[in-house]
């Protein structure tokens, strides 16, 4: 081997080692990134940590709230707010939880079924005024729901005179408003996903003699489960966390939803009942987190499928 070849290999090895060895600027950039990520995590998690700490604060006062609960003499003092939430006869906490789960669950199921049928019709069929109906559905979402609050109240009030099950202080009236308010956006969302399903599936099934209902329920419906999971999750979480409509349409304390019931702790004496409110807020987040974890694989597959098919 010639000396020039050995020298070139030596130089190449030195260059490779210099490239592998991180410079001071690289370490500085990595340190800045780590600090930035940690700062963002602390910023996002601090409100949650503060609410958890407030739920275990035995004083229940916001003015004396600290990150680490003070004046804790025993383990039982940490659960003072939870004991009041569960055992106080004046606080029907579990009744509120049942009301919220019933209303949110039934609303999300109906929205998913009706929106899926409507989206399939808009995606697959061509009929008169189809475009106008789609534009009308889109325009409904332009105006915020709070603008129609007075009209909604009067409509439910008058409807209750003829159909008591859909009047004020009834679950039927509240569910009806939730369904009507969330239908338009979900139809648009589902229609976009239905458009990504190849029409060749419908055509091949028709050639084999399948009816429209068979094509929908046996072929198309299983393929769009990801978007059904997304719509169901959004509808459930949005209904469970709603306060304004439930506060206006439900007047009986026993029929309150969880959000309205928790607000009763802070609307009059904010400092005294802050701990109970924080404890209830933590427990109210459990159903949404559990549902998200259960539907996570469908949500992820729905995002990736939409990206590939789009």
Please indicate, yes or no, whether residues 147 and 258 belong to a single structural domain of this protein: yes
Which DSSP state fits 165?
G
Please indicate, yes or no, whether residues 224 and 98 belong to a single structural domain of this protein: yes
Please indicate, yes or no, whether residues 72 and 216 belong to a single structural domain of this protein: no
SS3 of 277-288: the string is HHHHHHHHHHHH
Mean pLDDT, rounded, for 184-208: 85
Q: What is the pLDDT of residues 5-48, one digit of tens each?
A: 545 555 555 555 544 555 667 788 888 889 999 999 989 888 88
Residue 284 pLDDT exceeds 60: yes
Please indicate, yes or no, whether residues 82 and 96 belong to a single structural domain of this protein: no
Please indicate, yes or no, whether residues 107 and 78 belong to a single structural domain of this protein: no
Cα 167–chain centre separation = 27
User: Residues 248, 149: contact at Cβ < 8 Å?
Assistant: yes
CB atoms inside a 10 Å sphere around CB 292? 14
Residue 306 pLDDT exceeds 50: no
- How many domains does the chain fold into? 2
Please indicate, yes or no, whether residues 154 and 48 belong to a single structural domain of this protein: no
Please indicate, yes or no, whether residues 31 and 127 belong to a single structural domain of this protein: no
Give the domain range for residue 143: 91-309
Q: What is the pLDDT of residues 118-150, one digit of tens each?
A: 888 888 888 888 888 888 877 877 777 778 888
Please indicate, yes or no, whether residues 49 and 103 belong to a single structural domain of this protein: no
- Where helices occur in the chain by DSSP H, the ranges are 3-20, 24-55, 75-78, 80-87, 93-124, 130-140, 149-162, 171-195, 200-207, 212-214, 221-223, 225-240, 244-249, 258-263, 274-294, 296-309
Please indicate, yes or no, whether residues 59 and 113 belong to a single structural domain of this protein: no
Mean pLDDT, rounded, for 282-297: 86
**Listed residues 41, 57, 86: the one ending a domain:** 86
Please indicate, yes or no, whether residues 78 and 108 belong to a single structural domain of this protein: no
Please indicate, yes or no, whether residues 152 and 270 belong to a single structural domain of this protein: yes
Please indicate, yes or no, whether residues 169 and 277 belong to a single structural domain of this protein: yes
pTM of the predicted model, to two decimals? 0.80
How many angstroms separate the CA atoms of 165 and 173, rounded?
7
* Alpha carbon separation from 227 to 15, 214, 219 (Å, rounded): 52, 20, 15
User: Residues 229, 298: contact at Cβ < 8 Å?
Assistant: yes
**Listed residues 55, 70, 86: the one ending a domain:** 86
Residue 218 belongs to domain with CATH number: 1.10.3720.10
**Listed residues 37, 60, 86: the one ending a domain:** 86
């Amino acid at each position: 081997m010639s000396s020039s070849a050995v020298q070139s290999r030596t130089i190449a090895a030195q260059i490779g080692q210099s490239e592998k060895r991180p410079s001071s600027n690289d370490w500085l950039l990595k340190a800045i990134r780590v600090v930035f990520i940690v700062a963002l995590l602390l910023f996002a998690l601090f409100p949650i940590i503060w609410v958890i700490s407030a739920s275990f604060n035995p004083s229940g006062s916001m003015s004396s709230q600290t990150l680490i609960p003070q004046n804790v003499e025993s383990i039982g003092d940490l659960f003072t707010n939870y004991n009041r939430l569960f055992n106080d006869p004046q606080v029907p906490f579990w009744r509120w939880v049942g009301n919220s789960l019933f209303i949110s669950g039934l609303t999300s199921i109906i929205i998913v079924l009706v929106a899926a049928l409507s989206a399939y019709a808009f995606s697959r069929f061509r009929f008169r005024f189809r475009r106008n109906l789609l534009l009308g559905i889109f325009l409904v979402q332009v105006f915020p729901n709070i603008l129609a609050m007075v009209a909604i109240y009067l409509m439910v009030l008058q409807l209750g005179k003829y159909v008591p099950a859909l009047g004020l202080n009834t679950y039927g009236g509240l569910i009806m408003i939730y369904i009507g308010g969330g239908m338009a956006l979900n139809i648009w969302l589902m229609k976009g996903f239905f458009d990504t399903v190849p029409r060749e599936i419908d055509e091949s099934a028709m050639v084999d003699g399948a009816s429209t209902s068979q094509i929908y329920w046996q072929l198309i419906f299983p393929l769009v489960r990801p978007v059904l999971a997304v719509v169901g999750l959004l509808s459930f979480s949005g209904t469970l966390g709603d306060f304004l409509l439930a506060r206006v349409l439900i007047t009986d304390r026993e029929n309150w939803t969880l959000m309205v019931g928790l607000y009763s702790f802070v609307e009059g004496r904010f400092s005294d009942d802050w701990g109970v409110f924080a404890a209830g807020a933590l427990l109210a987040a459990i159903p949404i987190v559990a549902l998200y974890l259960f539907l996570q694989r469908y949500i992820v597959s729905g995002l990736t499928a939409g990206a590939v098919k789009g």
